[in-house]
Amino acid sequence: MAEKGEFGPLTRSRRRATISSSSSSSKIELLKSSNGAPSASASKTRLKRQDSHSKDPAEETRKHSRSESLSCHKLQESMLSSASSFKNYRGILNWCVVMLVLSNARLVLENLLRYGILVDPIQVVSLFLKDPYSWPAACLIIVSNVFILAALYTERKLAMGYFSERFGLLVHIINLSVVLCFPVVIVLMVPSVTPVGGAIALGVYTILFLKLYSYKDVNRWCRERMRVKARSLSRSLSCPSPPSTEGAVHVSYPGNLSLKDLFYFVFAPTLCYELNFPRSPSVRMSFLLRRLFEMLILTQLLVGLTQQWMVPIIQSSMKPLQEMDYSRMMERLLRLAVPNHLLWLIFFYSFFHSSMNFMAELLRFGDREFYRDWWNSETVTYFWQNWNIPVHKWCIRHFYKPLLRKGASKLVSQSAVFFASAFFHEYLVSVPLRMFRLWAFMGMMAQIPLAWFVGRFLRGNYGNAAVWLSLIIGQPIAVLMYVHDYYVIHHLEETADPGAL
């Protein structure tokens, strides 16, 4: 009752005012102290206030706890406000996943109701082979061994001094040119090569071209170092390599010029040759089997989703494309973007993670950096530096840095790399389809202005969104262009000339 006598009856409005003033003043001080030590003046004021209002600490504590139990507000920001510094959005991420699953479940149902089951394993075989007794793409791949042997032969002759550097370079240039041109001639001349078979064979030849180019360069660098050492009267005849790890066999130039060494490089998941690759201590069977399982499952998934999801959308896009019905074209493009992107992501995982790790594990190849965190790219440049590490490493080591060393500017060297990359993208698409349209070439060259635009105007999450958008929308545009042109050439010609059927 003493309390009542001291403060008088608490009316509703007075109670609210008392609570809010005491609460807010204490909270302000609390906020101050949370940012660091409370200021000296704040502490002094608090002490003075305590002195003037009450001399009995027990009574003061009682009063304080009573006012605390009555207060239910404090000075604070809303969680979604950026000033709240709240960062835990795990539930929102789960919500996104649930929404994604739900909307895709609807899409799956709609697709099944409209088209039925389109997955057909027999049709997949026909993508690789026109005639079961003729395997031209496989034969083409087997023939590629000739070029590997030619490169080894040339290097051995160069090491023994039978070939001069100039003549050796000429032989290498001829060999590498044939590696690029020979499969083109075969794919264009032999009608039984299917587009898929042709694309695989050309992919193998392109990889071989990049590997043999690297092999030639590294062996030349070794010879140059040997000559420099010989001139400085060094007695070592080996190409300097990093010191060997415990128990590992250390190879020195020209001891590396063997069939075993070259074929190890040909099958290793890298495009850059080295005399002594880092090796893992043993083959982990469980890791190997997991990667193999992923490869098998994801390949099936890729084929199934293409047949069931991509092909019907592409087929339904042909009419709007021919009639140049822009709104329908846009709608089809956006419809295609989702499955196309999903397939690209599955391809990325199955190729850069499952397949490359499988080969690396099998060969005890130690460097497993096949990709970096390209999904966090805030610039287009970062994406190209990180999504395909074997190609990026090759570009830097055998093309970009040599150009810079020859005095080319950074912009010219970068443009040259993108030009070469655009050429190979076009090469891998146009030749198997037997039509030259330059869509892939232009898509790759467009990366230069796009990189400039994103780097100049967009930052952080906006930059990241721009990179994702360019991937999600850019690819289906190219896919639609090629499929449309292929369809016009093959199907419209067939319908225009019924006698041809």
Residue placing its CB nearer to ligand COA in the complex, 151 or 271: 271
Report in angstroms how near the CB of residue 396 gets to ligand COA at its nearest. Answer: 5
Q: Hey, what long-range contacts does 109-117 have (CB within 8 A, 24 or more apart)?
A: 111/308, 111/309, 111/312, 114/312, 115/308, 115/312, 117/308
* Catalytic status, residue 73: no
Report in angstroms how near the CB of residue 89 gets to ligand COA at its nearest. Answer: 32
Residue placing its CB nearer to ligand COA in the complex, 317 or 413: 413
What is the rounded CA–CA span in Å between residue 263 and residue 96? 47
Q: Using H for helix, E for strand and C for coil, what is the string for 394-443?
A: HHHHHHHHHHHHCCCCHHHHHHHHHHHHHHHHHHHHHHHHCCCCCHHHHH
Residue placing its CB nearer to ligand COA in the complex, 317 or 377: 377
Report in angstroms how near the CB of residue 417 gets to ligand COA at its nearest. Answer: 4
Report in angstroms how near the CB of residue 217 gets to ligand COA at its nearest. Answer: 16
Taking alpha carbons only, the member of 405, 220, 170, 156 closest to residue 228 is 220
What is the rounded CA–CA span in Å between residue 208 and residue 145? 10
Residue labelled with tokens 């005095």: 407
Report in angstroms how near the CB of residue 477 gets to ligand COA at its nearest. Answer: 17
Q: Which residue is nearest to ligand COA (CB)?
A: 421
> Which residues would be at the binding site for ligand COA (CB under 6 A)?
381, 384-385, 388, 391-392, 395-396, 400-401, 404, 410, 414, 417-418, 421
Q: Is 314 exposed, middle or buried, given 0-12, 13-18 or 19+ CB atoms closer than 10 A?
A: buried
Under a CB-based contact definition with an 8 Å cutoff, are residues 19 and 67 in contact? yes
Under a CB-based contact definition with an 8 Å cutoff, are residues 165 and 109 in contact? no
Looking at 392, 398, 425, 484, which residue is catalytic? Answer: 425
Residue placing its CB nearer to ligand COA in the complex, 400 or 439: 400
Report in angstroms how near the CB of residue 306 gets to ligand COA at its nearest. Answer: 20
- H or E element in which residue 296 lies: helix 285-305
Residue placing its CB nearer to ligand COA in the complex, 163 or 439: 439
What is the rounded CA–CA span in Å between residue 141 and residue 130? 17
Six-digit token string for 12: 């509703």
Residue placing its CB nearer to ligand COA in the complex, 50 or 409: 409
**Furthest C-alpha separation in the chain:** 115
Work out the number of other CB atoms within 10 angstroms of the CB of residue 154.
Answer: 23
Residues taking part in catalysis: 425
